[in-house]
């Protein structure tokens, strides 16, 4: 746990943090609100899996729409906002100067969140696009693209105007995330919505997009945070750092090919999924290098940020191994279209969320200019999050395996499969409920910290103005 | 560690110190081998399962036909079993028993073992609405058209339909005669522009 006393400005805070504090805190705050909302929707959604009648009377909250809503809220609301805040902060810190153009973040952030809100309402009334990870209604897509562009401007300025001509791994990953999202988002938007390609090609584009969201956007942001925070906190240089560049390019080159893994057995030419599976193996090179570079994160320590980073990094590497192994056709035969794939998604996205959470624990006190008010809240959040996360992924994986094996056996009826997996799905629901508790604790703690600092700030200003009027 | 130090320290690390003590670093070699291994495996996998990157090949174990096509007699039961596993199995189940109240069975039923013309018509043009099979009424039965007919989504050739019908008439203890492609073609051409059949219409057929 952090040993700095409450209300004491943490060490290493400087102008670079203070100037970008407001806009980045705005992104983080909205991200946390989406996290709580998305987690709650995910909980309701999970109950519907084994209680089909639950909320089935309300068209807005039927299974399909709720699924798209929780996915959108967590992906674009939580990970989008928090990820952008972390990427911008890393670029500002390593750029060595206060962020230029912070108003772009405020304007872009408002529009981004307005866009996500509109997307959720649109999905609720039935306008979802129907592509996983890209459920945004058509009228929201251009909106989000321009909002992202606005938020990214200060990041690009911090990169081009950096004080130090040499660059660091965290900067590569953060800049890549900022530049690549608009590219694949606009391509998907045109090819799926505005000039849709025909037939099964849509499925190919949609899986390509979904893979890119992870491999070219969220994972690079998370890795940037780890590369930056690890030496910053431990004070040690990254071991074998000279290989980091290969890890970076192998992810960028091969990562975006992996989407077709999900199309095994689909009516697409065989080479699409074969190519994806082959690339999933090559991307392991990236994971090996990242492991060699950031292995210090797994040393036992007392720092909250490092604990979250260690768990996130562990989940990231484990998810790569599992995704590669289960993309093999022999295993995919059992796990495809089951809860197991849900577990895989939770593991990958959870890795990003854990790392972002760790980064927020480090960033927020520096941005707000004060420390976390309660050690007990941090502990409670950590425990609830970890237990919930492990339980959720584990129980969904078991449920998926049972489901997949039973589905391949023609003598087992559907109702029997549902009965066999029910207890595991209930366990997953309990885990998701625990995660919601964790999210609420974290959000409440954040608002307590930021609210306290704002009150203090206003009080000081109030005294100053009243003195000025008296004199 | 300040940000300035962080960048310069890692820059120095990346440049690499001159190897004055002749200390051989194992890691670069290991990583080279690991990368080569992964590329080798990926290449071998691609070579084996890419179907020569043909746009027509959907089964990763199949290779595109080249040169003179090999002529071989096709066992209709083998072809039929494959066709069955491609589509029919979804509703009628691998054991041909269907799903109670939803999808009618194929084992020992009057429709499969009885009139050949009716059976062919169902598969070629599809079927809609209630149908009675072995005394049970399947009120929401809906079977898509499999033949090369307008609106047919599967576009199976007459040979394939003949093969799958022969298969279901001779599998699971069913014992009925084979169906030929000529019979299928006859039914298909006798009823051009047909939509899905209904039970009364089928019963009107011989």
- Residues in A touching B28 (Cβ below 8 Å): 243
B126 lies in the same domain as B55: no
Q: What pLDDT, on the 0 to 100 scale, is given for residue A9?
A: 53
- Residues in A touching B16 (Cβ below 8 Å): 242
B113 lies in the same domain as B200: yes
Q: Which of residues 2-21 of B touch A (CB under 8 A)?
A: 2-4, 6-11, 13-16
Whether B6 and A231 lie within 8 Å, measured CB to CB: yes
Rounded to 5 degrees, φ, ψ at B180 are -100, 160
Task: Using 50 as the pLDDT threshold, list the residues of chain A that sit under it.
Answer: 1-8, 468-471
Q: What pLDDT, on the 0 to 100 scale, is given for residue B193?
A: 78
- Which CATH number belongs to the domain containing residue B130 in this structure? 1.10.760.10
How many structural domains is chain A composed of? 1
Q: Evaluate whether residue A461 is within a structural domain.
A: no
Q: Evaluate whether residue B5 is within a structural domain.
A: no
B99 lies in the same domain as B198: yes
- The mean pLDDT value of chain B amounts to 84
Q: Number of A:B CB contacts under 8 A?
A: 110
- Domain stop point among B41, B63, B85: B63
Q: Evaluate whether residue A310 is within a structural domain.
A: no
Q: Return the number of other C-beta atoms located less than 10 Å from residue A412's C-beta.
A: 13
Whether A278 and B42 lie within 8 Å, measured CB to CB: yes
Q: Evaluate whether residue B10 is within a structural domain.
A: no
B195 lies in the same domain as B136: yes
- Class of residue B177 by CB neighbours under 10 A (exposed 0-12, middle 13-18, buried 19+): exposed
Q: How far apart are CA A355 and CA A225, in angstroms?
A: 7
Q: Evaluate whether residue B57 is within a structural domain.
A: yes
DSSP state letters, B52-89: GG-TT--STT-----SSPPP-PPPHHHHHHHHIIIIIH
- Which CATH number belongs to the domain containing residue A71 in this structure? 1.20.120
B31 lies in the same domain as B58: yes
- Bridge partners of A134, per DSSP, are A131
Host domain of residue B48: 24-63
- Domain stop point among B11, B34, B63: B63
Question: Which residue from A228, A243, A278 is facing B45, i.e. has the nearest CB?
Answer: A278
Q: How far apart are CA A167 and CA A173, in angstroms?
A: 11
Q: Copy the structure tokens of residue A14.
A: 């400087």
B46 lies in the same domain as B136: no
From the list A289, A292, A294, A287, the residue with the least C-alpha distance to A309 is: A294
Helix axes A169-189, A141-160, angle to 10 degrees: 160
Q: Evaluate whether residue A387 is within a structural domain.
A: no
Q: How far is CA A48 from the centre of its chain?
A: 24
Q: How far apart are CA A324 and CA B92, in angstroms?
A: 34
Q: What pLDDT, on the 0 to 100 scale, is given for residue A73?
A: 97
Find out whether A63 and A48 touch, Cβ atoms under 8 Å. yes
B97 lies in the same domain as B190: yes
- Residues in A touching B42 (Cβ below 8 Å): 278-279, 281-282
Q: Evaluate whether residue B59 is within a structural domain.
A: yes
Whether A292 and B55 lie within 8 Å, measured CB to CB: no
Q: What pLDDT, on the 0 to 100 scale, is given for residue A470?
A: 46
B28 lies in the same domain as B99: no
Q: Evaluate whether residue A293 is within a structural domain.
A: no
- Bridge partners of A437, per DSSP, are none
| One pLDDT digit (tens) per residue for chain B, 206 residues | 788 888 888 888 888 766 667 777 788 889 999 999 999 999 999 999 988 888 888 888 877 666 666 667 778 888 888 888 888 888 888 888 888 888 888 888 888 888 888 888 888 888 887 888 888 888 877 888 888 887 777 888 888 888 988 998 888 888 888 888 888 888 888 887 788 888 888 888 87
Question: Which residue from B2, B3, B42 is facing A281, i.e. has the nearest CB?
Answer: B42
B96 lies in the same domain as B129: yes
B84 lies in the same domain as B167: yes
Whether B7 and A277 lie within 8 Å, measured CB to CB: no
Longest Cα–Cα distance of chain B, Å, equals 96
Helix axes A219-234, A270-294, angle to 10 degrees: 10
Q: How far apart are CA A248 and CA B6, in angstroms?
A: 18
- Domain stop point among B36, B63, B90: B63
B113 lies in the same domain as B189: yes
B45 lies in the same domain as B82: no
Host domain of residue A77: 14-166
Query: In terms of CA atoms, which chain B residue is nearest residue A234?
Result: B1
- Residues in B touching A271 (Cβ below 8 Å): 46, 49-51, 53-54, 57
Residue A387: C-alpha distances to residues A40, A430, B179 (Å): 17, 10, 61
How many structural domains is chain B composed of? 2
Q: Evaluate whether residue B68 is within a structural domain.
A: no
Q: What is the pLDDT of residues B122-145, one digit of tens each?
A: 888 888 878 888 888 888 778 888
Chain B interface disruption, residue of A231, A270, A291, A412, most B CBs within 10 A: A270
Q: How far apart are CA B198 and CA B201, in angstroms?
A: 5
Question: Which residue from A166, A274, A284 is facing B46, i.e. has the nearest CB?
Answer: A274
Q: Evaluate whether residue A342 is within a structural domain.
A: no
Q: Which residue has the tokens 């078991």?
A: A398
Classify A299 as helix, strand or coil: coil
- pTM, whole model, 2 decimals? 0.77
Q: Evaluate whether residue B148 is within a structural domain.
A: yes
């Amino acid at each position: 746990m952090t040993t700095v006393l409450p209300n004491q400005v943490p060490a290493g805070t400087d102008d670079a943090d203070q100037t970008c504090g407001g806009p980045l805190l705005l992104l983080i705050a909205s991200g946390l609100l989406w996290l709580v909302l998305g987690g709650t929707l995910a909980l309701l959604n999970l109950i519907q899996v084994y209680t089909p009648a639950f909320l089935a009377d309300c068209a807005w909250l039927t299974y399909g729409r709720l699924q798209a809503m929780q996915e959108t809220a967590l992906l674009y609301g939580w990970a989008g906002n928090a990820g952008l805040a972390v990427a911008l902060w890393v670029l500002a810190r390593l750029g060595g100067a206060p962020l230029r153009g912070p108003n772009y973040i405020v304007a872009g952030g408002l529009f981004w969140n307005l866009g996500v809100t509109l997307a959720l309402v649109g999905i609720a009334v039935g306008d979802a696009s129907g592509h996983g990870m890209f459920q945004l209604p058509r009228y929201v897509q251009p909106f989000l693209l321009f909002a992202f562009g606005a938020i990214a401007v200060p990041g690009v300025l911090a990169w081009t105007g950096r004080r130090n001509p040499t660059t660091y791994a965290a900067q590569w990953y953060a800049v890549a995330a900022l530049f690549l999202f608009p590219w694949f988002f606009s391509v998907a938007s045109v090819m799926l919505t505005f000039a849709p390609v025909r037939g099964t090609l849509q499925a190919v584009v949609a899986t390509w997009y979904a893979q890119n969201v992870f491999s070219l956007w969220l994972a690079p942001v998370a890795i940037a945070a780890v590369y930056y925070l690890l030496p910053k906190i431990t004070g040690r240089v990254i071991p074998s750092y000279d290989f980091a560049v290969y890890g970076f390019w192998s992810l960028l080159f091969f990562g975006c090919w992996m989407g077709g893994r999900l199309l095994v057995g689909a009516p697409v030419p065989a080479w699409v999924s074969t190519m994806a599976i082959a690339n999933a193996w090559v991307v392991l090179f990236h994971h090996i290098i990242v492991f060699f570079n950031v292995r210090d994160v797994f040393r036992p320590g007392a720092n909250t940020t490092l604990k979250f980073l260690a768990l996130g990094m562990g989940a990231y590497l484990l998810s790569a191994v599992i995704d590669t192994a289960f993309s093999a056709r022999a295993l995919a035969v059992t796990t495809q279209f089951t809860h197991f794939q849900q577990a895989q998604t939770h593991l990958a996205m959870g890795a990003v969320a854990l790392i972002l959470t760790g980064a927020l624990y480090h960033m927020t006190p520096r941005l707000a200019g004060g420390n976390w008010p309660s050690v007990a809240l941090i502990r409670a959040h950590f425990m609830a999050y970890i237990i919930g996360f492990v339980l959720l992924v584990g129980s969904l994986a078991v449920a998926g395996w049972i489901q997949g094996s039973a589905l391949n056996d023609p003598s087992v009826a559907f109702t029997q499969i549902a009965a066999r997996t029910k207890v595991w799905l209930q366990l997953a629901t309990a885990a998701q409920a625990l995660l919601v508790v964790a999210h609420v604790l974290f959000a409440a703690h954040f608002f307590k910290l930021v609210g306290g600092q704002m009150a203090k700030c206003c009080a000081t200003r109030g005294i100053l103005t009243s003195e000025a009027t008296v004199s | 560690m300040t940000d300035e130090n962080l960048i310069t320290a890692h820059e120095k690390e990346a440049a690499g110190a001159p190897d004055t003590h002749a200390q051989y670093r194992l890691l670069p070699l290991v990583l080279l081998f690991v990368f080569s291994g992964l590329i080798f495996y990926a290449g071998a996998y691609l070579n084996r399962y890419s179907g020569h990157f043909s746009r027509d090949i959907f089964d990763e174990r199949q290779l595109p036909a080249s040169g003179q096509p090999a002529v071989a007699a096709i066992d209709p039961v083998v072809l039929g079993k494959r066709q069955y596993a491609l589509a029919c199995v979804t509703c009628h189940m691998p054991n041909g028993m269907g799903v109670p109240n939803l999808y009618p069975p194929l084992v020992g039923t009057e429709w499969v073992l009885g009139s050949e013309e009716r059976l062919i018509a169902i598969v070629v043009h599809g079927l809609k609405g209630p149908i009675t099979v072995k005394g049970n009424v399947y009120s929401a039965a809906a079977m898509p058209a499999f033949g090369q007919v307008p609106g047919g989504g599967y576009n199976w050739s007459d040979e394939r339909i003949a093969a799958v019908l022969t298969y279901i008439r001779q599998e699971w203890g069913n014992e009925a005669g084979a169906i030929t492609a000529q019979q299928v073609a006859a039914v298909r051409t006798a009823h051009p522009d047909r939509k899905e059949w209904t039970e009364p219409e089928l019963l009107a057929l011989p």
